[in-house]
């Protein structure tokens, strides 16, 4: 059996110190529409930390190895692969898992040809965050040119992508929230947000209403959950879509939090919808891949969209890379190179 090197976890789950490079990991086989890709770089995501600890619901088709986004070159193609790909192509893509490794087996429906204008590191930082942002904007939030949108956790990977997508695709106004003035400045000056609000010092919902002449915003993308729920209802416009992607403030409403006004659902005809990406089937993820190509790829080539990278590590320093992610001090992607 062919083997490869891959990041593994001693005991199957544990702390950062449990991560190590296992040089006896079975190399994946391909079938149907899959390609075998030799990985050049991979991106870190917060789900990786949860999966390492055994706290993330991993899809049944995912390998045990961490990682969902990568860049590299095609080594082999199965018989049902998309016709646009060939051996040797430089690609980047999204997978159900397995990216912290030398090789990955992935559906060609989730691969994109890497433009020459992008480095391997930049390409590896695109798939998870940019596709998640596109899903929240278009497939859930029903974004169209001229709408207003707000991105919570404005310096997170998904919101960095989302603000650029919103500006680049014709939003009337783009707002963001963060927990520091420095990150607010980053959203406005580097990403093009109309305004950004520090949630620790500002009633951001009141500021959004003031900035929109009392109308509120058409789309809110929320990862915080209970802590922002009531303010989301205040800041939302009529017929708004609130897209919830995580609950970083915990799974339950707290007594100390602002009490939500549930009449807003009826008065404003609101839709509050939760969503995920990794659990979606291949067809759904393939449609999102097409959104990425349609709405972002040319702008990456022209330099209008930028992959903001916080730091690049050699993959042998995966423990340090995950420690940096766990610190919550970043304003961009953490990338590992092989």
DSSP string covering 302-318, please?
HTSS---EEEEEEGGGH
pTM of the entire predicted model: 0.90
Q: Which residues of 143-167 are buried (b: 16+ CB within 10 A; e: fewer)?
A: beeebbbbbbbbbbbbbbbbbbbbb
Instruction: Tell me what pLDDT residue 257 has.
Output: 78
Q: What is the DSSP letter of 215?
A: -
Contact status, residue 207 vs residue 227, Cβ threshold 8 Å: no
pLDDT in tens, 261-295: 999 999 999 999 998 877 787 788 888 899 999 99
Contact status, residue 332 vs residue 309, Cβ threshold 8 Å: yes
pLDDT in tens, 86-128: 999 999 999 999 999 999 999 999 999 999 999 999 999 999 9
Instruction: Tell me what pLDDT residue 302 has.
Output: 96
Tokens standing for residue 209: 């209403």
Burial of 176 per CB tally in 10 Å (0-12, 13-18, 19+)? buried
| Average of per-residue pLDDT values in the chain | 95
CATH of domain 129-274: 3.40.50.720
Instruction: Tell me what pLDDT residue 105 has.
Output: 97
Instruction: Tell me what pLDDT residue 286 has.
Output: 81
Contact status, residue 71 vs residue 39, Cβ threshold 8 Å: yes
Instruction: Tell me what pLDDT residue 42 has.
Output: 98
Instruction: Tell me what pLDDT residue 328 has.
Output: 83
Q: What is the DSSP letter of 11?
A: T
**Distance (Å, whole) CA 254 – CA 263:** 19
Tokens standing for residue 1: 């059996």
Torsion angle in degrees (nearest 10) through CA of 37, 40, 44, 45:
-30
Bridge partners of 35, per DSSP, are 77, 106
The pairing of strands 111-113 and 173-178 is: unpaired
Instruction: Tell me what pLDDT residue 308 has.
Output: 92
**Distance (Å, whole) CA 165 – CA 142:** 14
Q: How far is CA 104 from the centre of its chain?
A: 20
Bridge partners of 180, per DSSP, are none
Contact status, residue 45 vs residue 105, Cβ threshold 8 Å: no
State phi, psi for 135 to the nearest 5 degrees.
Answer: -60, -50
| CATH superfamily assigned to domain 3-126+281-337 | Medium-chain alcohol dehydrogenases, catalytic domain (3.90.180.10)
Domain boundaries, the chain: 3-126+281-337, 129-274
Instruction: Tell me what pLDDT residue 38 has.
Output: 98
Instruction: Tell me what pLDDT residue 255 has.
Output: 79
Flag residues of the chain having pLDDT under 70.
none
């Amino acid at each position: 059996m062919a083997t490869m090197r891959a990041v593994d976890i001693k005991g199957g789950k544990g702390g950062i110190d449990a991560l190590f490079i296992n040089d006896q990991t079975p190399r994946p086989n391909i079938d149907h529409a899959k390609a075998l890709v030799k990985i050049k770089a991979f991106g870190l995501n917060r789900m990786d930390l949860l999966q390492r600890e055994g706290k993330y619901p991993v899809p049944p088709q995912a390998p045990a190895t961490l990682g969902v986004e990568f860049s590299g070159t095609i080594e082999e193609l199965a018989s049902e692969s998309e016709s646009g790909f060939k051996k040797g192509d430089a690609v980047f893509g999204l997978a159900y898992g397995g990216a912290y490794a030398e090789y990955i087996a992935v559906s060609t429906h989730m691969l994109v040809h890497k433009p020459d204008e992008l480095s391997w590191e930049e390409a590896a930082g695109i798939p998870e965050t940019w596709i998640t942002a596109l899903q929240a904007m278009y497939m859930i939030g029903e974004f169209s040119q001229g709408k207003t949108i707000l991105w919570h956790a404005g310096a997170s990977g998904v919101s960095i992508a989302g603000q650029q997508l919103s500006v680049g695709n014709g939003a009337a106004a783009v707002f963001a929230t963060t927990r520091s003035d420095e990150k607010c400045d980053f959203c406005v000056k580097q990403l093009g947000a109309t305004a950004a609000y520090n949630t620790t010092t500002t009633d951001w919902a009141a500021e959004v209403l003031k900035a929109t002449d009392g109308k509120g915003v058409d789309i809110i993308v929320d990862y915080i959950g209970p802590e922002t729920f009531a303010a989301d209802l205040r800041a939302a416009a009529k017929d708004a879509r609130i897209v919830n992607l995580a609950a970083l403030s915990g799974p339950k409403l707290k007594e100390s939090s602002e009490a939500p006004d549930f009449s807003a659902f009826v008065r404003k005809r609101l839709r509050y919808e939760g969503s995920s990406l990794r659990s979606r089937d291949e067809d759904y993820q393939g449609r999102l891949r097409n959104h990425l190509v349609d709405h972002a790829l040319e702008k990456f080539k022209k330099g209008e969209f930028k992959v903001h990278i916080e730091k690049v590590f050699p993959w042998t320093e995966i423990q340090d890379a995950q420690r940096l992610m766990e610190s919550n001090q970043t304003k961009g992607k953490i990338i590992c190179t092989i």
